[in-house]
Amino acid sequence: MNILILGSGGREHALAWAIRQNPKCDRLICAPGNAGMVTVADCVALDIMNPAAVVAFAKAEAVDFVLIGPEAPLAVGVADALRAANILSFGPSAAAAQLESSKAFTKEICDASGAPTAAWARFTAAAPALEYVRERGAPIVIKADGLAAGKGVVVAMSLAEAEDAVIDMFAGGFGAAGSSVVIEEFMSGEEASLFVLTDGKDILALAGAQDHKRAYDGDEGPNTGGMGAYSPAPVLSDAMVEQTLNTIIRPTIAEMAKRGTPFQGVLFAGLMIENGVARLIEYNVRFGDPECQVLMVRLGGQILDALLACAEGRLGQARLNWADDHAVTVVMSAKGYPGAYDKGDVIGGIDAANALPNVQVFHAGTALVDGQITSAGGRVLNVTARADSLQAARDLAYQAVELIDWPGGFYRKDICHRALG
């Protein structure tokens, strides 16, 4: 079959790499793709934010299945347009994608379904938001209500930091995403990521993973889109997964169906776990990045069968076989990220890293310029390794990182510290 993946990041490269291994995949197209994805797919220029353009392209190229990687095309209704044209697709409708595109919508769903989450309030002006923050004090969490590429969250540890975040968001620091702001109770504990596939009725839980949001070692510095991940995550025991499915995921899926906006796709629950109890931090309506990378190297080609079962409404029949293995990804980012950073640095050593057994370097923000790989984003490479133990996978990932020649990049040196110390 002919398969189209929309997106250009490390998540989409990992999905393409895995799907390419499935014999059902005859032709793989990525739009727009990146410099690394050209090794597994045909990369084409396409405005993935234009639903009509995506439908026209899919028809012209006889595409059988479309996988929508990032959140932004989902929020503008690309999946809706594909389904209206009878093109099989994976990803929620624009209405269901509000679980990510609106923090306030998610909180309303949690309240209606009884899913445990932080106490919250929503504001559309700075003055009452500042008054609320001053009443409650710090630590406190300030979130841009809309999509902000995973960076519209400030965990304010002081009142001054909270006030600055509120003022910055309403002043346009996160664009339209910050025209409405959600302020939440600070939750302590250990963060983890649980992904489930759902066709709107049945669910299939994937292995757990753990991300590293802060930019620097020791969980210091600003929030990022994610600086590394590993799977499985010890904190997500079988019992914890079952608790999360029963108290958070299933009630959410049921509430979405009840409202006439059933959710079909992958639902990513960011969790805070403390004293054996999970609470929802937030939902995303696509695979996490960089968690997707560690999941894909563990799953390989079988992920396509599960995605098709989900899109075709027969997820209840789907099964995934997980090996007793571990995967780690280390994100290499441009110095300055998540603030201002340079682009256009030539990066060497990627082939040497990829040559190591059980290592895969996924490209997140690269471009091919005059035959050379160059940096073209904030998070640029995801150096991913798989091994029989978490320690071995971590060691292998960092061995591969050391082979990459990029003076303009940086990375955290403590990925997996929660599990390994």
Domain of 230, CATH number, reads: 3.30.470.20
Q: Measuring CA to CA, how many Å separate 37 from each of 110, 292, 331, 401?
A: 38, 15, 17, 19
Tens-place pLDDT, residues 234-257: 999 999 999 999 999 999 999 999
CATH number, domain with residue 132: 3.30.1490.20
* 399 is a domain residue: yes
Answer yes or no: is 106 within a domain.
no
Which contiguous run of DSSP H or E holds residue 45? none
Give yes or no for residue 231 having a pLDDT over 90: yes
Same-domain pairing of 359 and 269? no
CATH code for position 58: 3.40.50.20
Decide if pLDDT at 169 tops 70.
yes
pTM, two decimals, is 0.92
Structural domains of the chain, count: 4
Tokens of 287: 């695979």
Query: What was the pLDDT predicted at 2?
Result: 98
Evaluate whether 230 touches 419 at the Cβ level (below 8 Å). Answer: yes
Could you give the CA distance from residue 157 to residue 138 in angstroms, rounded to a whole number? 6
For residue 355, pLDDT beyond 80: yes
Predicted local confidence at residue 174, as pLDDT: 72
Task: Evaluate if residue 146 carries a pLDDT over 80.
Answer: no
* Backbone angles phi and psi of 139, in degrees to 5: -70, 155
End-to-end CA distance of the chain: 45
At 378-421, the pLDDT tens digits run 999 999 999 999 999 999 999 999 999 999 999 999 999 999 98
Q: Quick one: what percent of the chain has pLDDT higher than 70?
A: 98
Assess whether pLDDT exceeds 70 at residue 177: no
Residue predicted with more confidence, 150 or 110: 110
Same domain, 213 and 157: no
| Last residue within a domain, chosen from 299, 317, 335 | 317
Choose among 382, 368, 384: nearest CA to 333.
382
307 & 381 share domain: no
How far is CA 220 from each of CA 120, 164, 340, 418, rounded to the nearest angstrom? 25, 18, 18, 14
Looking at the structure, do residues 266 and 338 belong to the same domain, yes or no? no
Same domain, 308 and 380: no
Residue 109 lies in a domain: no
Same domain, 240 and 258: yes
pLDDT at 153: 86
Which of 41-55, 141-155, 182-196, 264-278 shows the lowest mean pLDDT across its residues? 141-155
Residue 184 lies in a domain: no
Could you tell me if 152 and 199 lie in one domain?
no
- Structural domain that includes position 368: 326-420
DSSP output for 327-378: EEEEEEEETTTTS------B-B-HHHHHTSTTEEEEESSEEEETTEEEE-SS
Q: Tell me the C-alpha distance between 374 and 377, whole Å.
A: 10
Q: Is pLDDT of 102 > 90?
A: no
- Is the same domain home to 281 and 354? no
- Final residue belonging to a domain, choices 261, 296, 317: 317
pLDDT at 367: 95
- Domain membership flag for residue 77: yes
Whether residue 116 lies inside any domain: the answer is: no
User: pLDDT at position 178, please?
Assistant: 62
Is the pLDDT at 96 greater than 80? The verdict is yes
Q: What is the mean pLDDT of the chain?
A: 95
Flag whether pLDDT at 176 surpasses 90: no
Q: How confident is the model at residue 147 (pLDDT cuts 50, 70, 90)?
A: low
Backbone angles phi, psi at 109, to 5 degrees: -65, -40
Residue 36: which pLDDT band, with cuts at 50, 70 and 90?
very high
Give me the pLDDT at residue 148, please: 57
Residue 172 pLDDT: 83
Q: Count the neighbouring beta carbons within 10 Å of the beta carbon of residue 34.
A: 26
Residue 67 resides in a domain: yes
What band does 149 get if pLDDT is binned at 50, 70 and 90? low
201 and 288 in a single domain? The answer is: yes
pLDDT tops 90 at residue 152: no
